[in-house]
């Protein structure tokens, strides 16, 4: 199972240092366990989770591969003491199928973007608006036609989103409060309707329900 690219910032960066935003892709592959295979006399494979980490804009040359987890045929799971802990949050998202948390903003949201431009950027490791906004002039991908305008659009997009973030958050809170109030009102209406329902009238000489049951 392959993953979508995750936009990841190293939480262990030294204080005062702004860490780079990296692109992380996960791959689950069958990897031969040479030692076990030699002992058994036939090929034995483990299920291994690799993290492919790259800096956006540098292309495949910047990619570093880390083994995060290895699952043996008997079910034993071996987690790398450094790499698994480092990427644990997005590993859990990957395993659960959650891609909305930690994944960057799609390039398709930018004005002036088309399929060919997205393909060129992604081939250079630029998968998200956030990555595009940080591409340095020294990177080769900046030579593509219209790159400067696309990068400026990405930076404007992020600035506008940050300025509107408090308003969006407040709108979300108000929406939740309205939903809570509507739910509470429905519960109150149901209670009123229940206790306001008219009591069933008995006809002349008709025994009460309890009397019928007792008979």
Single out the residue of 11, 21, 13 nearest to residue 154, CA to CA.
21
Class of residue 118 by CB neighbours under 10 A (exposed 0-12, middle 13-18, buried 19+): middle
Cα–Cα distance for residue pair 150/165, rounded to 1 Å:
22
Tokens 């058994």 locate to 40
Fold classification of 104-197 is DNA polymerase; domain 1 (1.10.150)
Domain ranges of the chain: 1-103, 104-197
80 with 69: CB under 8 angstroms? yes
Tokens for 164?
Answer: 């509107």
Longest alpha-carbon distance in the chain = 99
141-to-28, 117, 118, 144 alpha-carbon distances in Å: 29, 11, 12, 6
Query: Tokens standing for 184?
Result: 């509470």
Rg value, the chain, Cα: 29
Q: For the chain, first and last CA: distance in Å?
A: 69
Q: Please state the length of the chain.
A: 215
Q: Return per-residue pLDDT of the chain as tens, 215 residues.
A: 556 778 777 776 666 545 566 788 888 889 999 998 999 888 999 999 999 887 765 555 667 899 999 999 888 999 999 999 989 888 888 888 765 545 678 888 888 888 888 888 888 878 888 888 888 887 888 888 888 898 998 888 888 887 776 654 555 556 666 777 777 778 777 777 777 766 655 555 555 555 555 55
CA gap 126, 105 in Å, rounded: 11
């Amino acid at each position: 199972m392959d993953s979508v690219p995750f936009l990841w910032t190293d939480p262990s960066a030294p204080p005062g240092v702004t860490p780079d935003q990296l692109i992380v892709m996960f791959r689950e592959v069958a990897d031969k366990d040479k030692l076990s295979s030699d002992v058994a006399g036939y090929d034995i494979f483990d299920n291994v989770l690799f993290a492919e980490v790259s800096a956006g804009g540098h292309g495949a040359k910047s990619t570093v591969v880390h083994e995060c987890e290895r699952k043996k045929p008997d079910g034993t799971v071996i987690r790398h003491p450094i790499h698994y802990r480092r990427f644990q949050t997005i590993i859990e998202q990957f395993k659960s199928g959650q891609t909305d948390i930690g994944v960057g903003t799609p390039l398709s949201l930018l004005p002036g973007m088309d399929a060919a431009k997205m393909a060129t950027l992604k081939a250079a490791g630029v998968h998200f608006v956030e990555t595009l906004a940080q591409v340095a002039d020294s990177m080769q991908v900046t030579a593509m036609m219209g790159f400067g305008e696309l990068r400026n659009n990405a930076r404007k997009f992020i600035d506008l989103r940050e300025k509107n973030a408090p308003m969006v958050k407040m709108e979300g809170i108000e929406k939740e409060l309205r939903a809570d109030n509507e739910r509470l009102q429905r519960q109150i209406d149901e209670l009123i309707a229940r206790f306001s329902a008219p009591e069933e009238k008995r006809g002349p000489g008709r025994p009460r329900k309890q009397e019928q049951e007792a008979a």
